[in-house]
Amino acid sequence: MVKWVQGERRPLPGSPCPPQQHLLPLLLLMLLLLAAAPLLPPVSAEPAPQPGPGEGSEEAGGGLTGVTDDSPPVFLEQPQDAYVIKNKPASITCRAAHALKVHFKCNGGVPAPNTETESAFVDPMTGVRVMEVQLQVEKSVVEGVGDQDEAGYTCHCVAWSSRGQTISRTVKVATAYLRRYFEEPPYSQSVPLEQHVELRCLPPLGRPQPTSTWHKDNLPIDFNLHPSYKISSEGSLLILSARPEDSGNYTCVADNVAAKRVSDPALLKVYVDGAWSSWSSWTSCSSRCGRGTQRRSRTCSAPTPLNGGAACQGLAVQRTDCSHLCPGGDCQDEPCEEAVDGSWASWSSWSTCGPDCRHHRQRSCSAPSPQHGGRYCSGDDFTSSNCTGGMCRSGRGSSVKMYGDKSTTEEATAAAVQQDITLIVVLAVLVPLVLLLLVVVFRKFNRKDRHDGPLYEIAASGVLLILYDSHCLVKLDL
């Protein structure tokens, strides 16, 4: 094949040359290579790696190294899955080198010509011709195919040249959407300090699958600044150890290429139960001379109740008695004396037994008496007990009842119980006898009042009644 250029005949690139014109240069080149072979570095026996489909592009960082001019087409950019967003068509791009023709095939057919845009350029770094094609897929095309084919609308790129053809990966074109409502929105919680927290969030259904992110108080959460925050595979927010500063309003954000959805805020409250601080030191005695009081206190501040936490239980202030020995000399215009606590005197003699068979005795806090703020005696100053030793009188007549110790009281109680038992037995026998007597009397009087006995029936029938007496025979005609 010959092409004429400015009056000269030059072969086209790639066409075979006549052997008679290049035989001598080839022989000279071979001799030079054989002579320089000992001076060349050793060559590894391993073959150089060949770039696969998609490799060798500038995006892959490899260029077209190792690809010869007689290689089949090589993809520099593989097509990717695309989505139709609302009424905006999906766009698929494919780029190949060493190709004379690049086009798409979708669902086994060729798309409409007006949907493809083809362009070609030469890479200035390598001098290789690159072809690029872009396909626009409308929403109506995707939805129409989706009703007939479960796989949906699929496409692949075909790069062709005289040395062969290469087919790209198959991609899918679908309609993108995102539902309005969350499958499970986050809910408000109130948790104690340092507890594990899970704010669940299942995003709405969508295509492609939406990703979940979280905001706190309307600001995105920086997980690098909060290492205790994690996101689960489902999109829920995990707080490994809750702190008071973690309290706030949390919102779950779900988005994809079609839309963005924000959940209702969920309030997280991390409450802290109160705890007492250490006791303070005792204060000085309230009285400079004699008895007084002193106190100590504590506060519910270790920690302070927060976000509805429980308050401390118990007393915040303790008081106790104290005494202060006053030195001699002037003491605020009063004589400074040492405080003296009171002490009980001896018990008095027992009183005479009263009508209630009890006698009494008493004592006084006078040995010594409390002085200068000293404490009063503790205990009872009056007591009473049952009379003993035959001194208790009944109060009527001249008879004397002896009340001894506990054994005498028990004997009296046993006698009273025995009398009660006897009375119950007598009543149990007499009551049935009286009832029986009343029944007999009642039946006797009831028979006297009856006029329909056997004799009365015979007299009323007019029968001759013969009565036998010991002396004579009596005949009665009734």
pLDDT (average), residues 417-443: 86
Give me the pLDDT at residue 82, please. 93
Least confidently predicted of 22-31, 133-142, 175-184: 22-31
3-state SS, the chain, equals: CEEEECCEEEECCCCCCCHHHHHHHHHHHHHHHHHHHHHCCCCCCCCCCCCCCCCCCCCCCCCCCCCCCCCCCEEEECCCCEEEECCECEEEEEEEECCCEEEEEECCECCCHHHEEEEEEECCCCCCEEEEEEEEECHHHHHHHHCCCCCCEEEEEEEEECCEEEECCCEEEEEEEECCCCCECCCCEEEECCCCEEECCECCCEECCCEEEEEECCEECCCCCCCCEEECCCCCEEECCCCHHHCEEEEEEEECCCCEEECCCEEEEEEECCCCCCCCCCCCCCCCCEEEEEEEECCCCCCCCECCCCCCCCCCEEEEEEEECCCCCEECCEECCCCECCCCCCCCCCCCCCCCCEEEEECCCCCCCCECCCCCCCCCCEEEEECCCCCCCCCCCCCCCCCCCHHHHHHHHHHHHHHHHHHHHHHHHHHHHHHHHHHHHHHHHHHHCCCCCHHHHHHHCCCEEEEECCCCEEEEEC
Give me the pLDDT at residue 334, please. 53
pLDDT tens digits, one per residue of 370-419: 776 677 888 888 888 887 665 565 554 444 444 444 454 566 567 678 88
Least confidently predicted of 192-196, 327-331, 335-339: 327-331
Least confidently predicted of 146-160, 296-310, 355-369: 146-160
- Position with higher pLDDT, 146 vs 96: 96
Give me the pLDDT at residue 450, please. 56
pLDDT above 80 (res 113): no
pLDDT (average), residues 263-282: 94
pTM of the model: 0.49
Give me the pLDDT at residue 293, please. 86
pLDDT (average), residues 195-211: 93
Grade residue 64 by pLDDT with cuts at 50, 70 and 90.
Answer: low
